[in-house]
């Protein structure tokens, strides 16, 4: 791996760091289009039918919100990082409905970080990715580990 190929390596994600991942305004057309393709539940598909649900109106699929979060992650750091993937997500929560017109702000917070015990050229970073609406209410929260190449394989991890 070319050490100059990326802007971000494992060392660039210290515990406590918060990184903005952009904002997105959800539109009715976008919500319905996503639902038609991926999550065909009536409260995502049809504003009229959605009125008669517990949500009282059209809402975005939680998976739609996650997909937008993923795009924000890629734009904010992943596409320019030495990330080698993730073993998955923990504690995925859709806390409040996202409605047409809502502008959602996405962010990543580093919760934990450690060098790999088996591969000195890699490090693991645990993130909390979340999203808040214009009222400051958290609408999405999920945790997960990402695996990154280290800029200086085998270097003292506390020296970063």
**pLDDT tens for residues 115-149?**
999 999 999 999 999 999 999 999 999 999 999 99
Q: How far apart are CA 22 and CA 93, in angstroms?
A: 19
Q: Can you give the pTM of this predicted structure?
A: 0.91
Q: How is the chain split into domains, by residue range?
A: 10-154
According to CATH, what is the number of the domain 10-154? Answer: 3.10.129.10
Residues of the chain with pLDDT under 50: none
* Average pLDDT in the chain: 95
> How many CB atoms neighbour CB 142 within 10 A?
18
Q: Between the CA of residue 1 and those of 12, 74, 86, 153, what are the distances in Å?
A: 17, 20, 18, 12
Summary count for the chain: helices (H), strands (E): 4, 5
């Amino acid at each position: 791996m070319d050490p100059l190929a990326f802007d971000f390596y494992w060392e660039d994600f210290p515990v406590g760091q918060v990184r903005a991942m952009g904002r997105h305004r959800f539109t009715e057309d976008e919500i319905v289009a996503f639902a038609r393709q991926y999550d065909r539940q009536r409260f995502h598909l049809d504003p009229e039918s959605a009125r008669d649900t517990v949500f009282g109106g059209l809402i975005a699929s939680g998976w739609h919100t996650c997909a937008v979060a993923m795009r924000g992650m890629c734009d904010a750091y992943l596409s320019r990082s030495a990330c080698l993937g993730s073993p998955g997500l923990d504690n995925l929560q859709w806390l409040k409905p996202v409605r047409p017109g809502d502008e959602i702000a996405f962010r990543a917070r580093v919760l934990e970080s450690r060098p790999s015990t088996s591969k000195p050229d890699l490090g693991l970073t645990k993130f909390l990715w979340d999203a808040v609406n214009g009222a400051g209410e958290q609408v999405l929260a999920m945790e997960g580990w990402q695996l990154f190449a280290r800029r200086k394989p085998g270097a003292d991890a506390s020296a970063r």
